[in-house]
Amino acid sequence: MNIIDAVNCMCDLAKGEAEQFDVIASNSHSEGLSVFQGQVQNTEISDSVGLGIRVIKDGRPGYAHTERLTKEAIAQTIKDAVCHTQWTEKVNFELPAPAKIPEGNPNYNPGLESLTLAELKDFCIELEKETFARSADIKNIPYLGADLNRDFSIVANHKGLFYTDKGNSVSVGAGAVAVRDGISKLGNFVKSERDWSKFTVAEIADRAANYATELFGAKKIEGGKIPVVFSERISGRFMSMYASPFIAESMQKGTSRLAGKEGLKIASEKLSLWCDPTGEAFSTKMYFDSEGCLTRRVEVIKDGIFNEALYNLETAAKAGRTTTGNGARDFGSKMSTAFWNMLVPAGESSTADLLKLFPKCLLVVRLEGGSGCSSVSGELSIGAHGFWCENGVIQHPVDGVTLSGNYFDIIQNVVGVGNEYYNPFAGVKVPALAISELAVSC
């Protein structure tokens, strides 16, 4: 049976087995290729399909899933979920009734259905040639390829709720190795979109080649606590690494330093942080979460104040709150919580203007690793590369430095927020952030 029939079958069989239940299902397809030295090196086509159920019996949730879309497998999955309830903690919440959601599929472009692997191959072969042509320093392009993805998902429950979402996207990227004076540098650029007409060989080749060569001529700087500007190229990654402290489940488990601090000032008044699932800035819209609850903008940090944490139904019930519509789950997992489109609202200054805030500062454009970073403690210890700036003017590249500090101190020290976002398609949009001081070791 197909995925829709399987969900309907699961809903029919689950009636009477528990007081409440919800079902989440997905069917995804991806195909891609990689190119090396003018030839297709590898192709891959994969499909994934499955459905999972959460039953609530005697107030206790139980989970199970299957990737076999047969009546027998579905019936056994329901039995497994009911059996699981004897081991879980009792919670008191009500699954949502159907509500009106916007029509259409904003996350889907039917035009991508006609895009073929043959077209992607031709694009990638031309991209490899053009990337080499950008600089004589580029000696190798070990990473170059394209992926085409589409997915279809369903959320349904015992109250008759039945929401569907359809999405697709295409990505092309290149990683170039440049060599100068015996020193090798790697530069990567990946572009993702839902509109193939927005892809040009020139843009991707220019970015990959520039990133591969921009740090040649790096010089040492004097370490210590110095002003740092996180470029919009890496500021989103920085904020994403420390997203979990704002999630209610982390607070309830004692793994967030923000437990009990809602309503208190935790950051600079210049910094706000939103979960913006249907925001105009984002290409992907989330009208409902994995529990079928309607989403909304959550102003997590508002002018430095920890305004509101992110909740799903279970964590909201434990806290005596209402869900913020951030329940996250795929068919093979239990319920968790996630940001839907992370946004730091833009400030009034360009990245170039932020550099002028300090007589001297380090502009960071790359971060390396992350093993020294902990979202629980907030500790940050990470390799970085960038540019030394004086009076707002870039002087020379800098590489091989380490940034050290604590996230909860760093967001207190934000003195400026940029007005430029790096990736139009990304689900994380954070402009450049100017930090008054951060420990930099060389």
pLDDT digits (tens, 9 = 90+) for 258-278: 999 999 999 999 999 999 999
Q: Are 257 and 379 contacting, i.e. CB atoms less than 8 angstroms apart?
A: no
Mean pLDDT of 133-138: 96
pLDDT digits (tens, 9 = 90+) for 380-414: 999 999 999 999 999 999 998 999 999 999 999 99
- β-pair partners for 327: 337
Q: Are 306 and 300 contacting, i.e. CB atoms less than 8 angstroms apart?
A: yes
Using the predicted structure, report yes or no on whether residue 148 has a pLDDT greater than 90: yes
Looking at residue 437, its pLDDT comes to 96
Percent of the chain exceeding pLDDT 90 equals 95
CA-derived radius of gyration, the chain? 24
pLDDT digits (tens, 9 = 90+) for 292-324: 999 999 999 999 999 999 999 999 999 999 999
Looking at residue 371, its pLDDT comes to 81
Residue with tokens 């789950």: 329
Looking at residue 97, the DSSP 8-state letter turns out to be P
With 0-12 CB in 10 A as exposed, 13-18 as middle and 19+ as buried, what is 133? exposed
**Token pair listed for 278:** 């249907």
Looking at residue 16, its pLDDT comes to 86
Looking at residue 331, its pLDDT comes to 95
Q: Are 244 and 250 contacting, i.e. CB atoms less than 8 angstroms apart?
A: yes
Angle at the Cα of 381 from the Cα atoms of 379 and 382, rounded to 5 degrees: 135
At 346 the three-state DSSP class reads coil
Looking at residue 369, its pLDDT comes to 83
Confidence of residue 372 (pLDDT cuts 50, 70, 90): confident
How many Cα atoms within 13 Å fall on the side-chain side of residue 349? 18
Instruction: With CA atoms as reference, report the closest residue to 174 among 243, 217, 120.
Output: 120
Q: Indicate the helix (H) or strand (E) that contains 84.
A: helix 71-84
- β-pair partners for 256: none
Exposure pattern of 237-262 as b/e (b: 16+ CB <10 Å)? ebbebbbbbbbbbbbbeebbbbeebb
Using the predicted structure, report yes or no on whether residue 114 has a pLDDT greater than 90: yes
Looking at residue 104, its pLDDT comes to 86
pLDDT digits (tens, 9 = 90+) for 168-222: 999 999 999 999 999 999 999 999 999 999 999 999 999 999 999 999 999 999 9
Mean pLDDT of 75-90: 94
pLDDT digits (tens, 9 = 90+) for 282-292: 999 999 999 99
Q: Indicate the helix (H) or strand (E) that contains 365.
A: strand 360-368
Contacts 24+ apart (CB under 8 A), 120-126: 120/32, 120/33, 120/146, 120/148, 120/170, 120/172, 121/33, 121/35, 121/40, 123/172, 123/199, 123/201, 124/33, 124/34, 124/35, 124/172, 125/35, 125/38, 126/201
Using the predicted structure, report yes or no on whether residue 41 has a pLDDT greater than 90: yes
Looking at residue 370, its pLDDT comes to 80
Q: Indicate the helix (H) or strand (E) that contains 175.
A: strand 162-180
Which domains occur in the chain, in start order? 3-213 (3.30.2290.10), 224-239+346-441 (no CATH)
| Average pLDDT value for the chain | 96
pLDDT digits (tens, 9 = 90+) for 236-265: 999 999 999 999 999 999 999 999 999 999
Looking at residue 21, the DSSP 8-state letter turns out to be E
Mean pLDDT of 414-439: 96
Instruction: With CA atoms as reference, report the closest residue to 303 among 278, 260, 269.
Output: 269
